[in-house]
Amino acid sequence: MRTKTASITAWSRYGKPPRKKRNCKKSTPKKKPVSAESIARLADAGKSVSPFFTNKGRMMGPIQRVNVDFTSPMLEELDNTAKELNISRQAVIKTLVRQALDHHYLAVRRAATK
């Protein structure tokens, strides 16, 4: 014998259906990022700067600009690739250089273990 499922609708005493509960999270105001200079000033003044650090990332060194000369056909290839991937030309260059360096380090490591 099968049991039947019943649909139950709760009504308020005024004859209206109950209001739907909304799961809206309270929006907290976004904190502005604190500059490195202001953190350094606090540290120089002897105040605690540990709340500014979460230990979730890694320290990156300062960015250095370099000039690289490319031939026109190579620039066209980079631009086409950037357009296909919907990223900037600079992002394509950085990604390809990173891949080439990783490939090089793997090759050197494999050669050292033979």
pTM of the entire structure? 0.48
The residue written with tokens 């990223």 in the block is 87
DSSP calls for 58-95: ---PPP--------HHHHHHHHHHHHHHTS-HHHHHHH
Q: Which residues of the chain have pLDDT under 70?
A: 1-26
Q: What pLDDT score does 3 carry? A: 66
CB atoms within 10 A of CB 51: 8
Does 109 fall in a domain?
Answer: yes
Q: What pLDDT score does 99 carry? A: 96
Does 52 fall in a domain?
Answer: no
Does 28 fall in a domain?
Answer: no
Range of the domain at 106: 69-114
Does 95 fall in a domain?
Answer: yes
Q: What pLDDT score does 109 carry? A: 92
- How many domains does the chain fold into? 1
Q: What pLDDT score does 30 carry? A: 73
Does 73 fall in a domain?
Answer: yes
Query: Which of 72, 71, 94, 70 has its CA nearest to residue 82?
Result: 94
Distance CA 34, CA 112 (A): 45
Query: Which of 58, 56, 81, 62 has its CA nearest to residue 70?
Result: 81
Does 75 fall in a domain?
Answer: yes
- Length of the chain measured in residues: 114
Residues 6+ apart with CB under 8 A from 6: none
